């Protein structure tokens, strides 16, 4: 079944069409602020049989529901048929993208596992259980790396806006280098500390996967992360859509 996959996050909305979990994904994205009825109507020209929506922006989700009709649409939530259990006090609080990440990781490596998603926020989603019986346990939410660096630029008189890249040394020889070192090394330290705290609460060592815009940069200095999976969220959206629409 050819599915239109939509990952509607706070900053960017990604989409792709796929008819198999193993098919290469040709992904496209647009700023979420630019998602409007006219844009969504252009998606209806794509070759798909049904759509799967992961959204954390309620007003944009409502637009997708309205404009894509009458095409079949599955909107991911804790009420979706999932291959994992949810061991969480209030499942309605779990973002659809986090469920997609968990399902995608479970299909890829089983459980226990942790997904670190580097986006507007960085999220850690934790799967407990085994290869044959996975359970979403919860996670951690922290500010995303761009949010931290942009905050420094906006709220100080002399600190510039920087592009994020691997610092040449820990000791910065310019303001820009010092900011890059603080951002990259400091962020890796935060991620490592959170992973360690999560692992202390699990009975077994989890497999750690990463995804999101800054995943490759940060994971390069973190041997704790086994693999960076570029389209992990979209792959999870496909798996949930396939399970609920076919």
Q: Known catalytic residues?
A: 97
Q: Do the Cβ atoms of 202 and 112 come closer than 8 Å?
A: yes
Residues 6+ apart with CB under 8 A from 68: 40, 43, 44, 51
Partners of residue 135 on adjacent β-strands? 85, 128
Q: What is the distance between the alpha carbons of residues 239 and 82, in angstroms, rounded to a whole number?
A: 9
Q: What is the distance between the alpha carbons of residues 6 and 57, in angstroms, rounded to a whole number?
A: 12
């Amino acid at each position: 079944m050819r599915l239109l996959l939509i990952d509607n996050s706070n900053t960017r909305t990604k989409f792709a069409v796929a008819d198999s979990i193993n098919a290469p994904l040709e992904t496209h994205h647009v700023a979420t602020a630019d998602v409007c009825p006219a844009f969504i109507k252009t998606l209806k020209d794509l070759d798909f049989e049904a759509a799967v929506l992961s959204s954390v922006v309620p007003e944009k989700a409502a637009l997708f529901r309205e404009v894509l009709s009458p095409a079949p649409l599955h909107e991911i939530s804790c009420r979706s048929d999932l291959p994992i259990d949810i061991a969480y006090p209030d499942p309605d609080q779990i973002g659809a993208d986090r469920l997609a990440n968990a399902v995608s990781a479970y299909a890829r490596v089983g459980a226990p596992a942790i997904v670190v998603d580097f986006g507007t926020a960085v999220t850690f989603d934790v799967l407990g259980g085994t290869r044959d019986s996975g359970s979403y346990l919860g996670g951690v939410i922290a500010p995303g790396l761009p949010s931290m660096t942009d905050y420094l630029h906006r709220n100080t008189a002399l600190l510039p806006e920087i592009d994020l890249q691997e610092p040449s040394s820990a000791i910065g020889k310019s303001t820009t280098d010092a900011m890059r070192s603080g951002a990259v090394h400091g962020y890796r330290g935060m991620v490592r500390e959170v992973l360690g705290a999560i692992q202390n609460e699990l009975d077994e060592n989890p497999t750690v996967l990463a995804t999101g815009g800054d995943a490759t940069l940060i994971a390069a200095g973190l041997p704790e992360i086994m693999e960076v999976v570029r389209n992990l969220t979209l792959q999870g959206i496909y798996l949930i859509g396939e399970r609920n629409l076919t």
